[in-house]
Copies of this chain bind each other. A is one copy, B any other.
Amino acid sequence: MSRLLVKNIIAENIMDVDATVKGWIRSVRNSKKFSFIVLNDGSCQDSLQIVVDDVLPNYADVASLLSGSAVAITGRLVKGGGKVQSIEMQAKSIEIIGRVDETYPLQKKATSLEFLREQAHLRIRTNTFGAVMRVRHHLAMATHEFFSKRGFFYLNSPIISGVDAEGAGEMFTVSTLATHASKAPKTKEGNFDFSKDYFGKETYLAVTGQLEGECYAMGLGAIYTFGPTFRSENSNTTRHLSEFWMIEPEVAFADLDEIADLAADYIKFLISYALEHAHKELEFLMSREDSTAAKNHMEILKHVRDSKFHRVTYTEAMEILSKVDPKVKKFEYPTEWGCELQTEHERYLAEEHFKMPVIVTDYPKEFKAFYMKLNPDGKTVRAMDILVPGIGEIIGGSQREDNLERLTKRMDEMNMQQEPLWWYLDLRRFGSVPHAGFGLGFERAIMYITGMNNIRDVIPFPRTPKNCDF
């Protein structure tokens, strides 16, 4: 008997045939002459209800199975009796493949997200994490479809990097000297002699693939990265991970306006794709008891998908914020021109003022990276951030400085060494063109679309300070 997936049984409405299903028991309910098994095989949000008659030879064994047990069940697929379940199976034989005992951590029905974080290896067996990770999958597929259909080429930028591309210093060192530090070759000062390390220099985990993305956009025209990036900052918040995935498109001959349009289209496409391919997952997540997503989250997503994103300059954003009545909303941080847009400001703009994702452009150069294109005002740069309700910043992008002189001048102002970035400067020496790109934090996008409110719950094995147990 060939095995069928629950997804296919439901999607193709397979009935009145014999089949085999294999999966894990979500629940067993025993009545007088029957047991009802709810079986999930991970292929979709739905489970299949199996009716088990007590005439089965191993009925006593089956009726005593605990949730989490693995079984293979052969039987007849028939029209279901309940309202929701359109198809159920009448079992003819049940093979017990893998049992669980009372020590199984996911026994209880009510398992908090916090508890499940300590069971990162098992939590995918719950309805909640099954839903989140299937949404994550579909958003990854949406990403490749969106960019490749527009002629972008997927670039695997390097993970081990020789430069601090953001100049922020929040980097992990990659080394083969650290395991036996006492025996490592050292300098006079007692530090590692990195010239003797594996790569012959100190190397880091990449914080971005942008600079390499720029190299490739100068050859392929338009590229996007989709890979892991790293920050060693000591942030224990619901929005920060030490290891997270980013999508970074880079487009030759594009300016900031084009890239802002691309970013808005991309977010809308992600929403649209998730609503189409993971509707049941999203509905399930919204219905969870501890969901903090707005009751009308699905409506909000549809609204965002169908609306034009608001666009304001940093200067306009500060004006809006400075006019907010402190009785209505009191900000902790100042709202004067020249001050940073803090998360409280970002969330106010997206959640209270515009009630929509908002694109903020043209920030003071002091807050932004060295490679952003200077505006004619000499004070602001062609940068943009996209802020979304509930999360704050989800996308950061810019038009890049393509003029060698202005770029090196800015590096000098910021006391940056040019030598390690000789290859990056070469892009401005040889056939330089205007170009622009952005970075989307994949986990923040998943949070936004699923309504999950802790970033640790939207990545399979979260890495945070003092936390790398799995």
Contacts and interface: CB of A to CB of B under 8 A. Distances in A.
Interface of A: 3, 5, 7, 22-24, 41-43, 68-70, 72, 97-100, 103-105, 120-126, 129-130, 133-134, 136-137, 140-141, 144, 148, 151, 153-162, 172-182, 184, 186, 189-192, 198-203, 205, 212, 215-216, 218-222, 227-228, 230, 232, 242-243, 245, 252-253, 402, 423-424, 426-427, 429-434, 459-461, 463, 465-470
Contacts of A465: 198-199
Nearest to A423: B121
Nearest to A219: B124
A174 B173 contact: yes
Contact of A181 (B23, B191, B402): B191
A243 B192 contact: no
B124 A43 contact: no
A424 B120 CA distance: 11
A140 B154 contact: yes
B151 A7 contact: yes
Contacts of A427: 121
B227 A468 contact: no
A200 B431 contact: no
Contacts of A221: 5, 23, 41-43
The 9 closest A-B pairs by CB, nearest first: A124-B219, A182-B190, A42-B221, A98-B432, A121-B423, A42-B220, A199-B468, A173-B178, A200-B466
A21 to B, nearest CB: 10
A3 to B, nearest CB: 7
Nearest to A229: B159
A173 B433 CA distance: 39
30 contacts: A22-B252, A42-B153, A42-B221, A42-B222, A97-B434, A98-B433, A99-B431, A103-B429, A104-B430, A122-B218, A126-B219, A136-B156, A137-B148, A155-B460, A156-B460, A157-B460, A158-B470, A159-B230, A160-B243, A172-B176, A173-B179, A175-B178, A179-B202, A181-B190, A182-B186, A199-B242, A199-B465, A200-B467, A216-B460, A423-B470
Contacts of A123: 219
A468 B161 contact: yes
A70 B253 CA distance: 10
